[in-house]
Chains A and B, each alone.
Chain A
Amino acid sequence: MNDVAIIGAGLHPFGRFGDKSAFAMGAEAIDLALADAGVAWEDIQFACGGSWEVAQTDPLTGLLGLTGIPFINVFNACATAASAIQQAANAIRTGQCDLAVAVGLDKHPRGAFVEDPMLVNMPSWYAENGQYVTTKFFGMKINRYMHDHNITSRTLARVAAKNFRNGALNPNAFRRKPISEDEILASPVLNYPLTQFMFCAPDEGAAAVVLCRADVAHRYTDKPVFVRASTIRTRRYGAYEVNTTWAAIEEDAAPTVYASRAAYEQAGIGPEDVDVVQLQDTDAGAEVIHLAENGFCADGEQEKLLAEGATEIAGRLPVNTDGGLIANGEPIGASGLRQVHELVRQLRGQAGERQVPGNPRVGYAQVYGAPGTAAVTILSR
Chain B
Amino acid sequence: MSELLLPRRGTLVAWTTQGFVPKLPYAGSDKADRFTPFGVGLVQLGDVIRVESRLTESDPTKLRFGMEMELSIVPFYVDDADDEIMTFAFAPVSGSTDSP
Asked if B15 lies at the interface with its beta carbon under 8 angstroms from chain A, I say yes
Residues of B within 8 A of A249 (CB): 44, 47-50
Binds B, one of A6-14, A124-132, A169-177: A124-132
On whether A124 and B25 interact (CB within 8 A), knowing A129-B87, A144-B65, A249-B47, the answer reads: yes
The 0/1 profile, CB within 8 Å of B marked 1, for residues 171-191 of chain A is 000000000000000001111
Residues of B within 8 A of A193 (CB): 16, 60
Interface pair A128/B25, CB less than 8 Å apart = yes
Interface pair B41/A140, CB less than 8 Å apart = yes
Closest beta carbon of chain B to A199's beta carbon, Å: 11
Asked if B23 lies at the interface with its beta carbon under 8 angstroms from chain A, I say yes
Interface pair B25/A192, CB less than 8 Å apart = no
Most buried by B among A131, A136, A189, A194: A136
Asked if A20 lies at the interface with its beta carbon under 8 angstroms from chain B, I say no
Residues of B within 8 A of A247 (CB): 42, 49-50, 52
Closest beta carbon of chain B to A339's beta carbon, Å: 27
Closest beta carbon of chain A to B39's beta carbon, Å: 9
Residues of A within 8 A of B65 (CB): 144, 147
Interface pair B52/A131, CB less than 8 Å apart = yes
Residues of B within 8 A of A141 (CB): 14
Interface pair B51/A189, CB less than 8 Å apart = no
Asked if A114 lies at the interface with its beta carbon under 8 angstroms from chain B, I say yes
On whether A248 and B49 interact (CB within 8 A), knowing A128-B25, A144-B65, A192-B17, the answer reads: yes
The count of residues in chain B whose C-beta lies closer than 8 Å to any C-beta of chain A is: 32
On whether A189 and B52 interact (CB within 8 A), knowing A130-B28, A144-B13, the answer reads: no
Residues of B within 8 A of A114 (CB): 23-24
Interface pair A139/B16, CB less than 8 Å apart = yes
Interface pair B87/A240, CB less than 8 Å apart = no
On whether A130 and B16 interact (CB within 8 A), knowing A136-B40, A247-B50, A249-B49, the answer reads: no
On whether A132 and B22 interact (CB within 8 A), knowing A192-B16, A240-B42, the answer reads: yes
Most buried by B among A116, A127, A128, A147: A128
Interface pair B18/A133, CB less than 8 Å apart = yes
Cα–Cα distance between A147 and B60 once the two chains are bound (Å): 13
Interface pair B49/A130, CB less than 8 Å apart = no
B binding-site residues for A, Cβ under 8 Å: 13-20, 22-28, 38, 40-42, 44, 47-54, 60, 65, 76, 87
Seed contacts A194-B16, A240-B14; 19 additional CB < 8 Å A-B pairs = A112-B23, A128-B25, A129-B87, A131-B52, A131-B53, A133-B18, A133-B22, A136-B40, A140-B42, A143-B14, A190-B20, A192-B19, A240-B50, A245-B51, A246-B52, A247-B42, A247-B49, A247-B52, A249-B44
A-B contact pairs, 21 of them (CB 8 A): A114-B24, A127-B22, A128-B26, A128-B27, A130-B27, A130-B28, A130-B38, A133-B22, A136-B18, A139-B40, A143-B15, A143-B16, A144-B13, A191-B17, A191-B19, A193-B60, A240-B50, A245-B52, A246-B52, A247-B49, A249-B44
A binding-site residues for B, Cβ under 8 Å: 111-112, 114, 116-117, 124, 127-133, 136, 139-141, 143-144, 147, 188-194, 240, 244-249
